[in-house]
Structure formats: C-alpha cells, structure tokens
A and B are shown apart, each in its own frame.
Chain A
C-alpha cells in the first residue's frame, strides 16, 4: 500500500523528470543558500531570479529552451552586480535593487510586446516543473555538477574571504575573483531552480532550508549538510503533495520549506542553545 503511494507518481515520465530536477534543486540550493544567508545576501537571490526574466523571454521568442536565455542572462547579471559593488562603491542592496527592478520590468514588457508565447507568465513566475524536458533535465544535471565541483574546490577560500575579508586578501586570496565566481554560481543555481519553483519563489528554496539548518546546527559545514536534507525533503515531499492533492508544486515546495523553518525556530526557541540572532 505504502509502496504504491510512493511509486505511483513515477509511472509517468514527466514525474520522473520532475523528481530528478527537484532533487538537483534540493541539493544545490541549501549549499549556495548557506553562503547567502551567512553573508546576509538573501535579497540577492530573490532579485537575481527576477533579473533573468528577459533572458527567459528572449529564449522563448526564439523557440529555445529557457536555459539558453536564462544562463547567459544570469552570468551577465552576476558580473554586472559584482562590477557595481566592487568598482562603483554602490551598496549591495542598491546595486541588486536597480538590476532587479529594471530587468524584471524589461522582461515583462518584452513578453507583452511579443505575445503568443508557448509559456504563460504564470509558468515563469511560479515554475513549470511538470513541463521539464529531457534536455532540460540534462542541462540541470550538468549545471548542478558544475556548481558543486566548483564549490567543493573553493569551499575553504569562500569561507576565508567571507569570514575575514581583509585577512584573506593579505594571505594572497583574490577576493574579487572569488566574489564574481560566487555570484555566477548563484546565478546558475537560480536558473536551475527557476524551473522548479519559478521566479517568485526561488528565494524560498535558496535561503529557507539554509536558514532553518543554521538555527539548529552550530557548525557551518554541518549546517550546510543538514540544509541539504531539508532541501531534498522540501522538494520531494512538495512534489508528492502537489501530485496527490492537485496543487501547484512550486508553492507547495516553498511552503514545506517554510514549515521546516518554523519547526526549527520552535526547536531553537525551546530546546537549543544555538545563538542565531544573525538570522533574524
């Protein structure tokens, strides 16, 4: 009986593809999110997701997979934000806010002007996990592996530059290059996540599992691993719930993630000694 409940959704190919991409997102988001939360860049993730909108629309106009527009757009946005921050003495929030509003508006206007696209605005904003093609699945996998390998390679450097920015530069690290690399990885991860939860709810999977795990786990690396468990649980259970209750999958995943966060907040409040004031 139980095994039937678990296996039934996956008699359909589109559900198998959805499960695969959701799992990628469940792994990649909490890892990137751990750095995002601890560096106080939560707004960055949300804004970058909105900023790739023109890329998605242009790819759809050309009849391509949205990846072909969103990946280059994410890299352009990441480099632009990095440039504004490092070269123009603009604060992170201001730089990201300007890019966010401008590019998202441009995407919406472009979509209205063209019209007749195969994908609706709702799909872009809330995700289209059940419409993931085999090509999308493959691209998601390649991008996820690329991000994970890069993060594992530069894990210590990213921690050093985030923990002690001046000391790391004096020690010989290239903080500027590390920051650009981090922003590009963040952009790529957001692009993969867009297919699952859409533009609006990316931040729900990016920072919520990471923030929840850091509430109950003191050490950074361990919290990152716990975040992966929370992320996978959010995406996979969200997929099941949406299947059996005929609900939109993206919002359900984000909601599960939020419930986990609330549980962790209560656990931290009543049972844990972990100091998490920085998350609030």
Chain B
C-alpha cells in the first residue's frame, strides 16, 4: 500500500477518456487518492460518469465506496489527483449533489414525518426565520408524488420500511433540485420487490436528466437495470456495462479468490 508523500501534490487534469478535452461529464475523477492515518483507502481512482446515467458503484465492504462518495461530495479531502463535479471542484459544486446516506448514518431519534424530511431539501431556500417561501409546499407535494409517497406524508420516517425511506430521501433530493444523486447502500434493508420498484423509479429520474450513482456491495439480479457499473476496491478495477465489466479477473480483484460467492449468492445473504 502506498503511503502519504509518495505522490506529488499536483492537480491532474488529463483529458476525459469519454469526452476528450471539452468534458461534459457530471463526475470525473483523475488519479484521486484519499488517505486515513497514512494509509491510502482510495488509490489512483480514475473514472467518469456522464450526465443522465444510472451507475452502480460496486465493491466489497471497506472497499472505499463511501469514501469516494464523500470525496465527490466535497466533504473528504483528496491527497492527490482531482475530482470534478459538473466541471467544478466538489467544494464549489455543493448543492448540486444530494447525498442519500446509509441508514446507520441517520439519527432516527428525530421523529420527522415524510413531509418534514422532504421539506429539509428546501432548507437552503428558506426565508428568514425559517418560514417556507411561497410554493414550498407545492414543491414538497410534487416531490412526494413523483416517488409515490404523498399518501404517506404524515407517517413518521422512522416507522417506514427500508424502501419507503429511500423514496422519501429521493424526494428530498428532488426538492433540493440536485442534478446528481449519490445513494449509499440504497438496497440495504430493502426487500427484493421494493428494490425493483426503487430501481425503476430511479431509471425514470435518470431519463429526466438526473445523474445517479448507487453504492452497493450486493448488485446481483439488479445489474441489468444499470447503464454501467464501476467496480471499486480501493481503485477502479473496471468500468463499463454490467455485461462486460464483471470478468472473472475483476470479480477476483473485488472479492478475493472466491468470486463465485458473488455470482451465486442470494439477495440479503451478506451482512450490511
């Protein structure tokens, strides 16, 4: 494992492999490295995701998926390389990304209704004293209707199923008017039927121009619903269509010498 100091501190701005010089990708990482306590948890990560693409970020636990999301979102510094979000640095593009967290990163003690959670997406647009601007309720209603959750608007999110919670968070992202959605372990704790419902809804959103990346260690039967997959185990092992990306060599690099476990396991088989 490379240690800090082995890389020169340079901004790398190579041409995008997809677009060339005039890159129009929603997200582009070039040689990005992140370190914790002297150890690299992301090592020379290079990939790009075009606008209006639904991608899966696949890799083992502790493979750096959440760290990469944090770096894209501008809340994790990179020690080398560059990340661009809509052509800007992550810190300059805050607000254009909506982050849907892993369930264990949410404080469920807050007894908030679905409507209240979605309303948080408007928090940057609130008038002084926190009162909603005119039309805020309509935005919340519209967002909840788009994810088929308006009828549950008064239900507490802490009492919802995993799939319903994800829909509410997606509605919050719609209210925030973010054009990039990062969903961290979105299928964790979500039953199979709801997973398919969720992915179909996300496909509709990407057809409307949203760029969506879902981090998961458990892609399985959903693979063919994605436009592309990014295989990550500290570095990008492969990126491409689900049909071509998962070669035996890539699977071994992701999951060690027993990639068959990945190919044959059933949904919910792995721990979160």
Check A166–B99 contact: CB distance below 8 A: yes
Given A153-B129, A156-B130, A163-B112, check contact A170 B74 (CB 8 Å).
yes
Q: Is the CB of B124 within 8 A of A166?
A: no
B4 to chain A, nearest CB (A): 17
Chain B hits for A165, CB < 8 A: 105, 107
Q: How far is the CA of A159 from the CA of B172 in the complex (A)?
A: 14
Cβ of A159: which chain B residues have Cβ within 8 Å of it?
110, 112, 116, 120
**A220 shortest CB reach to chain B, Å:** 5
Closest chain-B Cβ to A56's Cβ sits at a distance in Å of: 33
CB atoms of B95 and A172 under 8 A apart: yes
Q: How far is the CA of A122 from the CA of B218 in the complex (A)?
A: 61
A153 to B123, CA, bound (A): 11
> Among the listed B74, B110, B176, B182, which residue makes an inter-chain contact with A163, where contact means beta carbons less than 8 Å apart?
B110
At the interface, yes or no: A155 with Cβ under 8 Å from chain B?
A: yes
| Interface: A2 (CB within 8 A) | no
- Structural contact, B94 and A172, CB atoms closer than 8 A: yes
CB-CB nearest in chain A for B120: A160
CB pair A170–B73 under 8 Å, yes or no, is: yes
- B5-40 CB contact bits vs A (8 Å, 1 = yes)? 000000000000000000000000000000000000
Asked if B110 contacts A162 (CB within 8 A), the reply is yes
Which one, B105, B111, B130, B178, contacts A164 given CB within 8 A?
A: B105
Tell me if A167 and B101 are in contact (CB < 8 A). yes
Of B108, B112, B124, B159, which contacts A172 at CB under 8 A?
B124
| Residues from chain B with Cβ under 8 Å of A170 in the complex | 73-75, 94, 97-99, 182
Residues of A in contact, count (CB < 8 Å): 30
Q: How large is the interface on B (under 10, 10 to 19, 20 to 34, 35 or more residues)?
A: 35 or more
Interface positions, chain B 72-101, Cβ under 8 Å from A, are 73-75, 94-95, 97-101
Residues of B within 8 A of A164 (CB): 101, 105-107, 120
Q: Is B52 an interface residue, CB under 8 A from the partner?
A: no
Q: Which of A40, A156, A171, A219 interacts with B176 by CB under 8 Å?
A: A171
Q: How far is the CA of A163 from the CA of B106 in the complex (A)?
A: 6
Give chain A residues whose Cβ lies under 8 Å from the Cβ of B156: 218-219
Once the chains are docked, how many angstroms separate the CA of A220 from the CA of B112? 6
Among A40, A155, A171, A219, point to the contact of B111 (Cβ < 8 A): A219
Q: Are A171 and B98 in contact (CB under 8 A)?
A: yes
Bound CA span A162–B105, Å: 11
Contact A166 B110 (CB under 8 A): no
Partner of B120, one of A163, A214, A219: A163
Assess whether A154 is interfacial by the CB under 8 Å rule.
yes
Given known A152-B129, A156-B130, A173-B123, contact A166–B101 (CB-CB < 8 A) = yes
Which residues of B lie under 8 Å from residue A157 when comparing CB positions?
123
Interface status of B63 (Cβ within 8 A of chain A)? no
Interface check B128, CB cutoff 8 A = yes
* Nearest CB of B to A270, in Å: 20
Q: CB-CB contacts of B129-140 with A at 8 A, as 1s and 0s? A: 110000000000
Contact across chains for B98 and A218 when beta carbons are under 8 A apart:
no
Residues of B within 8 A of A278 (CB): 108-109
Q: Does B126 sit at the interface, judged by CB under 8 A?
A: yes
Q: How far is the CA of A39 from the CA of B107 in the complex (A)?
A: 8
Q: Does B113 sit at the interface, judged by CB under 8 A?
A: yes
Contact residues in A for B70 (Cβ distance below 8 Å): 166
- Nearest-neighbor residue (CB-CB) of A167 within chain B: B99
The 6 A-B pairs at the shortest CB distance, nearest first, are namely A170-B99, A163-B110, A170-B73, A278-B109, A172-B95, A172-B94
A residues touching B (Cβ–Cβ < 8 Å)?
Answer: 38-40, 152-157, 159-160, 162-173, 214, 218-220, 223, 275, 278
- Which B residues are within 8 Å of any A CB, using their own CB? 70, 73-75, 94-95, 97-101, 105-113, 116-117, 119-121, 123-124, 126, 128-130, 156, 158-159, 169, 172, 176, 178, 182
